[in-house]
Amino acid sequence: MKVIICGAGQVGWQIARHLSGEKNDVTVVDNNPELVRRATDTLDVQGVAGYASHPDVLERAGARDADMIIAATYSDEVNMVTCQVAHSVFSVQRKIARLRAQTYLDPAYGDLYRKDHLPIDVVISPEREVAEAALQRLAAPAAFDTESFLDGRAQLLGITIEEDCPVINTPLRQLTDLFSTLRAIVVGLRRDGTLFVPSAGDQIFAGDACYVFTHTEDLNRTLEIFGKTQAKQERIVVIGGGNVGLGVALALESRTDRVRVKVIEKDRIAAERAADTLDRTIVLHGDGLDTALLDEAGIASADAVLAVTDDDKTNLLASVRAKEMGCKMAICLVNDPTLVPLMGPLDIDAYINPRATTVSSILRHIRHGRVRGVYSIGDAEAEVIEAQVLGTSPISGQKIKDVDFPEGVLIGGMMKEGKVIRPTSETRIEEGDVIAIFAMTPDVPEVERLLQVSIDFF
């Protein structure tokens, strides 16, 4: 597949890294020659320096025979014009655009993206994706990472294993015997900084970061087995009233169970906009690092603080200060992946990486076959792929034990005829089943082959 990626920032670079690693023909376009050089020096991609919306630049990038264009520059308008030029001049079949401004996403203007208007096949909104990720973190506060699968009936949980975990030093195969009715599978372990797919004989040790795939109905029980307690979130303080913070507050207001939310926003105009938009939420104008303001927001009695400003260091410091003042849990938005190792020492419970969230969202629309969802783990080290099994797939009709999966691949969950089950080696994979597969990044191409992928399914 030939793909042109417009924008060589962190999101564009990560997408290029994924697709070039899977032997696709990738060209990166950016008006910053340094970013283009970084991509061509570190990845197996071609590069073109110039404005992505200019027809001559797209011509040099090979748009005439491109299968897909991904417009992920920092400008919404450049992304939109790029898709228009790709469609009108070069007849590129599939066009994906990242758009930030919320007005472009209003359902009232949905017709804007029709082929005879502004032809964009898929619109990705980083702010909405991040707001949804924040809500998922709040729904499972004992986990450092979480994502929904199988129509919301299954969850991937990232759990840090503590010394008091009841199942440490226990081989994974024994967990099946000890908890025979538990619909949960350990699909990944990170130990000493290295992520791997465990075998049945592997044990869990204190300090491990454990990825568990579980049925939503068994979520609380799964957390308890791994030494975590699930506390109800009733009082939440959101630091940052921009698009992300506002989206989270609106979603929390719409819940049937009563959640008290307070938003702190430094910019007066943004604070006034948030106050006008929200009904039951108290909006405070001021600095989220101000102890007096945090005290006024009731941070000492808050169940969680969500720091989602556009500045990483502010988010980190605000989270630390909130915990120091008595807040039970801190969730922090961090763009810079090099800051993630600081989360543990700073006692920050969970983090959201907007770039990883956006990358996962874009990959969901790139994968071939009947792929319904993709979630990127860590620094693009692994993926969880949710896909429907086709009748032409090599795995269709086979028992799991008879499929030659690579060592870095494990099926975490399966949905048969609308019912989510815990797969075993004897489970037969049939046409129409939906499976969730944890795969180390080097093994993703083999997973796609086993799912019988073809460009015909676009």
Instruction: Give the pLDDT score at 369.
Output: 52
Distance CA 332, CA 307 (A): 5
| SS3 call for 60 | helix
Closest of 137, 159, 334, 149 to residue 233, by C-alpha? 137
- What are the DSSP E strand ranges found in 107-259? 122-124, 145-149, 154-160, 184-191, 194-196, 209-215, 235-239
pLDDT digits (tens, 9 = 90+) for 152-209: 899 999 998 988 888 888 899 888 888 888 899 999 999 988 999 999 899 999 989 9
Q: 34-43, 223-232, 257-266, 387-396: which has the minimum mean pLDDT? A: 223-232
Among 377, 398, 395, 379, which Cα is nearest to 387's? Answer: 395
pLDDT value at position 456? 40
Percent of the chain surpassing pLDDT 90: 49
Angle, to 10 degrees, between the axis of helix 10-21 and the axis of helix 33-42? 30
* pLDDT tens-digit readout, 275-333: 999 988 999 999 999 999 999 999 999 999 999 998 999 999 999 999 999 999 899 99
DSSP state of 390: P
pLDDT greater than 70 at residue 367: no
pTM: 0.70
pLDDT at 95: 94
DSSP-assigned beta bridge partners for residue 70: 5, 96
List the helix and strand counts (H, then E) for the chain. Answer: 13, 22
Q: Across residues 226-233, what is the average pLDDT?
A: 79
**CA-based diameter of the chain, in Å?**
64
The answer, yes or no, to whether residue 32 has pLDDT greater than 70, is yes
- List, in order of start, the domains of the chain with CATH numbers: 2-124 (3.40.50.720), 130-225 (3.30.70.1450), 235-355 (3.40.50.720), 357-457 (3.30.70.1450)
Residues 6+ apart with CB under 8 A from 448: 22, 367, 368, 369
Three-class SS state of 223: helix
**What number of other Cβ atoms are within 10 A of residue 130's Cβ?**
25
Range with the largest mean pLDDT of 12-21, 65-74, 104-113: 65-74
Q: What is the Cα–Cα distance from 287 to 239, expressed in whole angstroms?
A: 9
Contact 79, 71 (CB under 8 A): yes
Please report which confidence band the pLDDT of residue 368 belongs to, taking 50, 70 and 90 as the band edges: low
Taking alpha carbons only, the member of 196, 199, 204, 150 closest to residue 441 is 196
